[in-house]
Homo-oligomer: A and B are copies of this chain.
Amino acid sequence: MKLSQRGEYALRAVLVLGMNHGSGVVRIRDIAQQQNIPRRFLEQILNDLKSAGFVLSKRGVAGGYRLQRGPNEISLADIIRHLEGPLAPVGCVSVNYYQRCSCPDEGACAIRSVMQEVRDAIVGVLEGVSVAHLCDRVRDLQGPLENPLDYII
Protein backbone atom coordinates (compact mmCIF):
# COMPACT_ATOMS: atom_id res chain seq x y z
CA MET A 1 0.00 0.00 0.00
CA LYS A 2 3.01 2.22 -0.52
CA LEU A 3 3.48 5.46 -2.37
CA SER A 4 6.76 5.38 -4.25
CA GLN A 5 9.51 7.90 -3.67
CA ARG A 6 8.83 9.15 -7.15
CA GLY A 7 5.22 9.76 -6.29
CA GLU A 8 6.05 11.54 -3.09
CA TYR A 9 8.56 13.79 -4.84
CA ALA A 10 5.98 14.61 -7.45
CA LEU A 11 3.50 15.73 -4.82
CA ARG A 12 6.09 17.84 -3.08
CA ALA A 13 7.10 19.45 -6.34
CA VAL A 14 3.55 20.19 -7.35
CA LEU A 15 2.95 21.68 -3.96
CA VAL A 16 5.86 24.07 -4.42
CA LEU A 17 4.44 25.07 -7.77
CA GLY A 18 1.07 25.53 -6.15
CA MET A 19 2.51 27.85 -3.54
CA ASN A 20 4.13 29.90 -6.29
CA HIS A 21 1.17 29.88 -8.62
CA GLY A 22 0.67 33.24 -10.23
CA SER A 23 4.23 34.40 -9.76
CA GLY A 24 5.93 32.99 -12.82
CA VAL A 25 7.99 29.86 -13.11
CA VAL A 26 10.14 28.04 -10.60
CA ARG A 27 13.44 26.41 -11.50
CA ILE A 28 14.00 22.70 -11.03
CA ARG A 29 17.05 23.46 -8.99
CA ASP A 30 15.13 25.57 -6.51
CA ILE A 31 12.48 22.93 -6.01
CA ALA A 32 15.13 20.28 -5.59
CA GLN A 33 17.01 22.29 -3.03
CA GLN A 34 14.03 23.39 -1.05
CA GLN A 35 12.51 19.95 -0.97
CA ASN A 36 15.64 17.91 -0.66
CA ILE A 37 15.06 15.96 -3.87
CA PRO A 38 17.87 14.71 -6.16
CA ARG A 39 17.90 17.20 -9.01
CA ARG A 40 18.35 14.81 -11.89
CA PHE A 41 15.61 12.60 -10.62
CA LEU A 42 13.29 15.53 -10.22
CA GLU A 43 13.93 16.56 -13.82
CA GLN A 44 12.56 13.23 -14.90
CA ILE A 45 9.53 13.54 -12.72
CA LEU A 46 8.66 17.05 -13.80
CA ASN A 47 9.01 16.00 -17.38
CA ASP A 48 6.54 13.27 -16.76
CA LEU A 49 4.15 15.68 -15.06
CA LYS A 50 4.52 17.91 -18.06
CA SER A 51 3.60 15.34 -20.64
CA ALA A 52 0.62 14.48 -18.49
CA GLY A 53 -0.54 18.08 -18.67
CA PHE A 54 -0.17 18.98 -15.02
CA VAL A 55 2.60 21.51 -15.48
CA LEU A 56 4.07 23.76 -18.13
CA SER A 57 7.69 24.57 -18.67
CA LYS A 58 9.65 27.47 -19.99
CA ARG A 59 13.13 26.95 -21.33
CA GLY A 60 16.14 29.19 -21.31
CA VAL A 61 17.63 31.61 -18.88
CA ALA A 62 14.57 32.61 -16.94
CA GLY A 63 13.04 29.20 -17.37
CA GLY A 64 11.30 26.89 -15.00
CA TYR A 65 7.99 25.22 -14.31
CA ARG A 66 4.52 26.29 -13.35
CA LEU A 67 1.14 24.63 -12.99
CA GLN A 68 -0.82 24.32 -16.17
CA ARG A 69 -4.27 24.29 -14.59
CA GLY A 70 -5.34 26.13 -11.46
CA PRO A 71 -4.36 24.58 -8.14
CA ASN A 72 -7.98 23.91 -7.35
CA GLU A 73 -8.45 21.90 -10.51
CA ILE A 74 -5.82 19.31 -9.65
CA SER A 75 -6.54 16.69 -7.04
CA LEU A 76 -3.94 14.54 -5.41
CA ALA A 77 -5.77 11.54 -6.78
CA ASP A 78 -5.11 12.80 -10.31
CA ILE A 79 -1.41 13.13 -9.72
CA ILE A 80 -0.94 9.86 -7.93
CA ARG A 81 -3.00 7.97 -10.46
CA HIS A 82 -0.83 9.23 -13.24
CA LEU A 83 2.42 8.34 -11.52
CA GLU A 84 1.53 5.15 -9.77
CA GLY A 85 -1.41 3.72 -11.59
CA PRO A 86 -4.44 2.46 -9.68
CA LEU A 87 -5.29 3.77 -6.24
CA ALA A 88 -7.17 0.57 -5.50
CA PRO A 89 -5.32 -2.08 -3.54
CA VAL A 90 -6.33 -4.79 -6.00
CA GLY A 91 -7.01 -4.58 -9.70
CA CYS A 92 -10.49 -6.08 -9.49
CA VAL A 93 -11.89 -3.08 -7.62
CA SER A 94 -10.16 -0.39 -9.64
CA VAL A 95 -12.49 1.89 -11.58
CA ASN A 96 -9.87 3.35 -13.86
CA TYR A 97 -7.61 0.35 -14.27
CA TYR A 98 -9.87 -2.64 -13.72
CA GLN A 99 -8.29 -6.04 -14.03
CA ARG A 100 -9.90 -9.37 -13.38
CA CYS A 101 -8.37 -11.41 -10.62
CA SER A 102 -7.92 -15.12 -10.25
CA CYS A 103 -10.60 -15.77 -7.67
CA PRO A 104 -13.32 -18.24 -8.62
CA ASP A 105 -16.26 -15.86 -8.47
CA GLU A 106 -15.61 -12.16 -8.43
CA GLY A 107 -19.20 -11.21 -7.83
CA ALA A 108 -19.36 -13.18 -4.61
CA CYS A 109 -15.84 -12.44 -3.42
CA ALA A 110 -15.83 -11.23 0.15
CA ILE A 111 -12.28 -9.96 0.01
CA ARG A 112 -13.19 -7.96 -3.01
CA SER A 113 -16.04 -6.32 -1.16
CA VAL A 114 -13.68 -5.27 1.63
CA MET A 115 -11.11 -4.00 -0.83
CA GLN A 116 -13.88 -2.06 -2.47
CA GLU A 117 -14.35 -0.22 0.80
CA VAL A 118 -10.67 0.37 1.16
CA ARG A 119 -10.54 1.79 -2.30
CA ASP A 120 -13.47 4.08 -1.64
CA ALA A 121 -11.84 5.28 1.56
CA ILE A 122 -8.56 6.09 -0.16
CA VAL A 123 -10.18 7.71 -3.15
CA GLY A 124 -12.48 9.66 -0.88
CA VAL A 125 -9.58 11.37 0.80
CA LEU A 126 -7.36 11.84 -2.21
CA GLU A 127 -10.05 13.00 -4.57
CA GLY A 128 -11.20 15.53 -2.03
CA VAL A 129 -7.87 17.25 -1.65
CA SER A 130 -6.71 19.59 -4.38
CA VAL A 131 -3.37 21.30 -4.68
CA ALA A 132 -5.11 24.46 -3.52
CA HIS A 133 -6.29 22.68 -0.39
CA LEU A 134 -2.79 21.49 0.18
CA CYS A 135 -1.51 25.04 -0.02
CA ASP A 136 -4.09 26.10 2.53
CA ARG A 137 -2.88 23.41 4.85
CA VAL A 138 0.67 24.59 4.50
CA ARG A 139 -0.38 28.05 5.56
CA ASP A 140 -2.39 26.66 8.46
CA LEU A 141 0.38 24.44 9.66
CA GLN A 142 3.06 27.09 9.44
CA GLY A 143 0.94 29.45 11.47
CA PRO A 144 1.00 33.25 11.34
CA LEU A 145 4.66 33.69 12.12
CA GLU A 146 6.43 33.55 8.80
CA ASN A 147 6.95 36.19 6.20
CA PRO A 148 5.18 35.26 3.02
CA LEU A 149 8.22 34.42 0.93
CA ASP A 150 9.72 31.76 3.03
CA TYR A 151 7.57 28.73 3.39
CA ILE A 152 9.02 25.52 4.59
CA ILE A 153 6.90 23.11 2.69
Contacts and interface: CB of A to CB of B under 8 A. Distances in A.
Contacts of A34: 104
Interface stretch (A22-30, A54-62, A63-71, A86-94): A86-94
Contact of A152 (B15, B84, B108, B129): B108
A147 interface: no
A45 interface: no
B108 A141 contact: yes
Copies of this chain present in the complex amount to 2
Contacts of A11: 111
**Chain A: interface residue count, which band?**
35 or more
A127 to B, nearest CB: 11
Interface string A1-37: 1110000100110010000000000000000001111
B35 A103 contact: yes
Contacts of A105: 152
**Residue in A2, A126, A134, A141 whose Cβ sees the most chain B Cβ within 10 Å:** A2
B111 A15 contact: yes
Contacts of A137: 110, 113-114
Given A12-B103, A108-B152, A114-B134, 7 more contacts: A1-B84, A1-B88, A3-B115, A35-B104, A110-B138, A110-B141, A121-B125
